[in-house]
Structure 1
Amino acid sequence: MLINSDFSRRAVVAREQYQWIASPQLGVERVMLDRIGAEKARATSIVRYAAGSSFPHHVHPGGEEILVLCGTFSEGDKHYPAGWYLRNPPGSSHQTASNEGATIFVKLWQMSVEDTHRVRVDTRDPQRWQREGDREICMLFSSEDERVCLQRLLPGARLFGDSIDGAEVLVVDGEVIDGAESYSRGSWIRLPGGSSSAIVAGSSGVTYYLKTGHLSAAVGA
């Protein structure tokens, strides 16, 4: 299965374009944003757990990155409400569930085999945020291969400078404006290296997930 699999091209999935597809587990469904492979795939998805649903214990050979968007996501006896960022390295395993229901942003098979970092960040903690110029930044993970953060911008502020070295954006709150198009909470945008972009924060500002540095390796894969 190939979905938005050419990483040298711009890709956008707006919130209103979501197509929910059932997973093998009852009560768990997903929107496929990009994907290379069948059920065990290199994938970026929005995943929705119905209240009381669960996934049996499973292994992530290629690692897993999660941002909880709403509800409460659980790993065993650990519970993570909206705003938590989780990073499970290659070879890790867990049993997941949601008593109240949850929606999460998930990236699978996108980590180096040498990555051993297990990360848990509560982005609701004000001390996690630092001002840098015209924006506030909550750093989630940084390495030679990638940089992951949340950013907050005031209305009209530009997301990027003149040139982009590849970037992936998920609108967490508010909206962004790209020319005549607006993209609300839940919209996903992937911009290849060498792009130029005039995307700006909407009238109420924006909070967004930003991942950079990872697309050059994907293009060469």
Structure 2
Amino acid sequence: MRLNADFSQRATVPAHQQQWVASPQGGVERVMLDRVGAEKARATSLVRYLPGATFPPHQHPGGEEILVLSGTFADEHASYPQGWYLRNPPGSAHRPASPEGALIFVKLWQMPPTEREAVRVNTHDAAHWQAQADRAVCPLFQSEAEQVSLQRLAPGAVLRPDATGGAELLVLAGELRAAEGDAPPLTPHGWCRLPLAEALAWVAGPQGATVYLKTGHLAQVLGLDQGLA
């Protein structure tokens, strides 16, 4: 399967256009945002666990990145309520589940093989946030290849992602509107991926906006999806 798989083009999936489809695992549904491959895929998705849903134990050869949007996501190691950010490096394994149900944002097979450390960030911990003029920023992960953060924008604040190596954003709360051009507005769970070097500024709505932002990661995308069909 190839969905929004041309990484030289902008891809946008507003919340009102998202379609939930059943996964092969009972009690688990997903919205596919981009995908290269079948079940073994370089994929970006929203995944919804119904209460009591589980996955059998499995490995992540290409790594897994998760942001818990609602409910509680769990595995055999710990439980992670809404607001937790997780990175499981290439070669890691777990048995995910959600006794109460959960909605998570997931990126699969998008880490370099050199990434080795697991990451766990509770974004509700005020110590992780930094005040920066008209926003607060919660750094989640940084390497030579990518930078990941949450950004809490004040009403009318402008978000100008550094898209030198590509950029991707998911709105968690509030609204973003493109400062110019034809990009549709993004409300909660609306998603956009910008190709290398596309400069597109976004303006937070009257209630502000909270946004997941990743930059830099598309510079190596061709190398990461090799071997996927």
TM-score (norm 2): 0.92
Residue 104 (structure 1) aligns with: 104
Looking at structure 2, the residues matched to 219 and 194 of structure 1 have their Cα atoms a distance apart, in angstroms, of 16
Instruction: State which drifts further: 168-177 or 179-188.
Output: 179-188
Looking at structure 2, the residues matched to 45 and 213 of structure 1 have their Cα atoms a distance apart, in angstroms, of 19
Instruction: State which drifts further: 177-186 or 147-156.
Output: 177-186
Contact 1:171–1:187 (CA<8 Å) still a contact in 2?
yes
Residue 210 (structure 2) aligns with: 207
Structure 1: state its 5+ residue gaps.
Answer: none
1:146 equivalenced with 2:146 (yes/no): yes
SS in 1 for 2:145: coil
CA positional deviation for 1:11: 0.4
The amino acid of 2:66's aligned partner reads I
The amino acid of 1:118's aligned partner reads A
Q: Aligned to 2:191, which of 177, 188, 192?
A: 188
Count of residues in Structure 1 that have an aligned counterpart in Structure 2: 220
The amino acid of 1:203's aligned partner reads P
Looking at structure 2, the residues matched to 196 and 77 of structure 1 have their Cα atoms a distance apart, in angstroms, of 41
1:171-204 Cα offsets, whole Å, 9 max, x none, are 0111111257321100001111221213111110
SS in 1 for 2:192: strand
Looking at structure 2, the residues matched to 78 and 164 of structure 1 have their Cα atoms a distance apart, in angstroms, of 35
The amino acid of 1:183's aligned partner reads L
CA positional deviation for 1:77: 4.9
Identity %, equivalent residues: 58
1:3 equivalenced with 2:3 (yes/no): yes
The amino acid of 2:190's aligned partner reads S
Looking at structure 2, the residues matched to 201 and 81 of structure 1 have their Cα atoms a distance apart, in angstroms, of 26
Contact 1:50–1:100 (CA<8 Å) still a contact in 2?
yes
Looking at structure 2, the residues matched to 219 and 130 of structure 1 have their Cα atoms a distance apart, in angstroms, of 33
CA positional deviation for 1:219: 5.4
Contact 2:163–2:216 (CA<8 Å) still a contact in 1?
no
CA positional deviation for 1:134: 2.5
The structure in which a higher percent of residues are strand is 1
Looking at structure 2, the residues matched to 81 and 128 of structure 1 have their Cα atoms a distance apart, in angstroms, of 17
Over the residues paired in the alignment, what is the CA RMSD in angstroms?
A: 1.4
Contact 2:174–2:188 (CA<8 Å) still a contact in 1?
yes
Structure 2: state its 5+ residue gaps.
Answer: none
Equivalences for 1:1-221 in 2 at 5 Å? 1-160=1-160, 164-165=163-164, 166-178=166-178, 179=180, 181-218=184-221
Contact 2:68–2:83 (CA<8 Å) still a contact in 1?
yes
Looking at structure 2, the residues matched to 191 and 135 of structure 1 have their Cα atoms a distance apart, in angstroms, of 21
Contact 1:9–1:191 (CA<8 Å) still a contact in 2?
yes
